[in-house]
Chain A
Amino acid sequence: MPRNNLVAAIDIGTTKTVVLIGEIQADRKLNIIGLGERPSAGLRKGEILDMSAAKEVVHAAFADAEKTAGLHGKVRHAYLSLTGSHLEGRRYVGSTSVAATRVSREDIERAKNDAKRRKTADDRFVVHYVRQPFFLDGKPLANAENMVGKRLEVSYWTIDAARNRLEELLHIPNDMGVHADDLVVSSLASAAMVADDTMKRNGVLVVDIGGGVTDYALYYNGYVVQTGVIPVGGDHITNDLALGLRISREEAESIKIKFARAYIGADDEHATVFVSNAGSPIGGREFYKRSINLIVSARVDEIFQIIRERLGRFGEGDRVAAGAIITGGTALLNGLDLCAANALKLETVVGQNPDWVTEELSGPKYSTALGLLQYALGAGDGARRMPGAPAGIMGHIRKFLRL
């Protein structure tokens, strides 16, 4: 816990950087007091290509957030989101014999250490050890302590990352005098906001489609069973539109936001849309909606087909009863949920942040940053329990957002 109780959530995405500043009070309430948002620079597919440009943007967003919070140079601790195709996830199982009749704390620690004893490569560091349920003589248990059995097993979903990428990422907050308290994989941070405990128990897939990459996390029986990153995101849709319609990226982005749909409808055949030239309100061109939607749906379908293939049998409907939740900036693309439902063969919805988050931060593009604050609060998956907390939290947040 930071000494001064001020903590920043820094979500550095390919297209935008969001910084939230939270004040963690003594009774473990979260008060969001600052917001900074800037278009990112120097990143591609979630990884830093130009350190100076990336640093400049993050520092500016951080300064904006501090300014909104009425603080300057007071926030010295941060939680950072982590994404990119360098992230890899594996499942490691550890086991031990129970020393006495009942499982003791020592037995549990021994099993845990056995699962974590695998060494990663020298150029890779572990970012998350996400524990899965205990198995005592083959029986799944949430807590094995004092249970009777002979053989205890525990597994971890372990996410590791490339050393260079981590060093580059840490350099950004460190260079402005901010200590990174933890790094959280984007999909897990987003899931903390958009999926509640019931969904995770029933099995839910959280897909965070950002500008450059798509992160996903699969929960089953309340535990993370798989995570992954696909180096395809919303920017690829823009790029496809620019190439397919022979227009500039700016025009393509505008079409994507205003007119594009992730499936082809019956009314698209002869419908056209008017698009202003070069971002100017003067003059313009008409495009067939069918052409636009054909390009967009092909790319979106590809993203979900890759996820489905990677999940394999874990992604089948009976294991993912709560369906899929789409979040991230691209989640706002019209018809994305229908396209995802068709490709994943799962009930799909666009994620909504909990209702204690006021309208300004309710969009899916803020899920990751809000999730980071939840991690900072130490509540993690308990994010959905916030409304049950005393009404003071809502009051503070609303007070800030209605400046």
Chain B
Amino acid sequence: MVALPPLFQDWFAKRGWSIHPHQQDMLDRASDPALLLIAPTGGGKTLSGFLPSLIELMDGTHTGLHTLYVSPLKALAADIKRNLRTPVDEMQLPIRIEDRTGDTSYTQKRKQRADPPHILLTTPESLALLTSYEDAPRIFKGLQRVIIDEIHALEESKRGDQLMLALSRIQALAPGLRRVGLSATVEDPKAIAHSLASHPDPCDILHADPGPDPDIDMLITNEPPPWAGGGAAYAIPAVLEEVKKHQTTLIFHNTRAQAEIFFHNLWLANDDDLPIGIHHGALSREQREGVESAMVRGDLSAIVCTGSLDLGIDWGDVDLVIQIGAPKNVKRLVQRIGRANHRYNAPSKALMVPANRFEVVECVAALQAVKDHDLDGDPKGAGPRDVLCQHILIRACAGPFTADDLYREVTSVGAYSNLSRAAFDDCLDFCATGGYALRAYDKWKRLLERDGMWQLRDPRASRNIRMNIGTIQDTDTLKVKYKNTFKSLGEIEEGFAATLTPGDTFLIGGKIVRYDGLREMTVQVTKDAAKKPKIATFMGTKFATSTQLQARILRKLQQDTWPELPDHTAEWLDLQRKFSKMPEADRVLVESFAHDTRPHTVFYGFAGRNAMQTLGLLLTQRMEEFGHGPLGFVATDYATMVWSVDPVTDPAPLFDVTGLRDGFEHWLSGNAVMKKTFRGSANIAGLIERNSPQARKSGRQATFSSDILYDTLTKYDPDHLLLKITKEEALRGLVDFGRIEEMLTRTKGRVDHIKLGRVSPLAAPLMLEVGRIAVHGEGRETLMEREAEKLMELSGLNKIDAQPAKPNWRVGW
């Protein structure tokens, strides 16, 4: 056992602390090349990561960078810097600690490159940028340790892949580098350990005491939840009561729009003027920081928030977490609950509030999963190649390299350890020439090979590459500002802004504002006294219910009685059983009925929102082929409802696997989701630059859309690398065809078709579901023609004889 140095022992004693077992373990294993600690929030997790560094640095002999700390959030880096100051100042350790994020000033960043601190706190993007400089070898030369905080959160996205690629570069510059990962409770720690270590180094996993089980329940309200919707406005009085009973409450929502609407309604009902704030990713930095510091001071009774507060920042004494809406995913729920009560060995307290009747079932299923410690998650696929392309460009900015060296470094990253040389060469070729079947750019290559060394053709290109580092793909957003001020209120999606006309009102940061117009890429607004806004539809992420949770729900539906469910929900399920049939895990239930004289068909697939959406698109396509005349559909996590001109008489052939899969291939190439995915991958891989010095100057966006590039590639170069990447991404992302496959495997073509005289109890909520999608194709053309005729009619222009003759030929595109 490695003993704490006396200085540290005294400091622990002075604070009345003794070293936690996992902190001692981390100290004992400090020379391991890689080590993963699984620990709940609180409990001195961060200190256990830093303790070996503080001890190694205490004698003041180390010069330059010693420890890198990487976290997913800028705010977390700033928070840790504050917390780390306490031991360093109190023990008077000769250690310089600085952070480096997107918010760090240019001068400070330059200084850090010339004279790096002992401990640098940063984010994956800032670290990748740091490796792109020519002086990277000097900056990282003496580096000993890297601590990756909240590694489970990074692991879920491409940011983790980018970070591990950057570390592979740094490891080559500092061969003695040791890695430490700090993670919340996850379902598969081995997978994270595999990502963390430099392949094939071993990585042991240490477990801290997880503490007592959380005290978690469903919020009981006098009023039953509504049939549909996600707002949970019915629960506001009960939520306010809970807020009053506790010191500080975090109220989590699944989307930003829901958080905004709930916050607004909470204020209208807040007769006691409880101090309540709102925090989500689309708010301006000033706004978020204001709420964060009020929180730390203990000035707020509650914060309405989204995933932006998911990570381990210490917000002070949170003693209750409320989750509004079904959690969709048990692991995330457990991590959110962990936000309450940071005192070690005290249970976290949490309440779940179902937003509608079906979510009651989901919440109860999730409660049992939490009690059973049954976490869910999807296995992570191989390292995405668009991120690799960006890494190659970043590497080129730092100076010449050989393909062999870079390949060796890249395959030392766990996620890329199985990358073939051919696949790597494809990425290198894409970076150099665009990788097109038509070799058009031999004269204008981006990267050239001279004497076996790859380098930028034009070194000035490094500026553009650096400006576009990162893998976070926000939907295109516009800043929102009050007229004639510089103060930003936050951001809304470009698509949402396009639907606004002057005079419209919407919610942002809990305020109702009126849209005045668009000026130089900012949305100009004024305050508005209205009580009811036009709803803010900026989305945030919509999660799909996980496969594991979905299976629990299906099991629950099969129970004979439901004593654990509130009466209103149990009665509803009973009614479904009597009136129609309960969905089963190994069969697809299909219900047909007429509603408002129009035939409706409901398919209960239980495959999660994204997959059910895809299923809706595929089924309507099949229905078109069968001549049912589908008009539109709506999808939820558990069902898809289609309405059509003619009724579906036999749904079984619709589920024919070959038919669905062929339709999928055909549909995929022209699909909007694919185009959206393509835009993301094209940005990451460096085909489209979101930021350029010119664009920043003029504030103008790209002059034509990436959709055109997608269509052109699909037509002329269908085997292009980026199209392959796009398909891989879409299959596991928004399209989620994997879950449709899972559904088809478990149901094996067993379809139960129930014909009903009217809507069934389980289908009733679908009637109220928003997000209906019109079926495209001939229908849309007809709609547009009618719209055009209507406008001509209204304006009277169609009665003027001098109307220009219609062109007598058609332009074919």
Instruction: Indicate, yes or no, whether A interacts with B.
Output: no
Interface of B with A (CB < 8 Å)? none
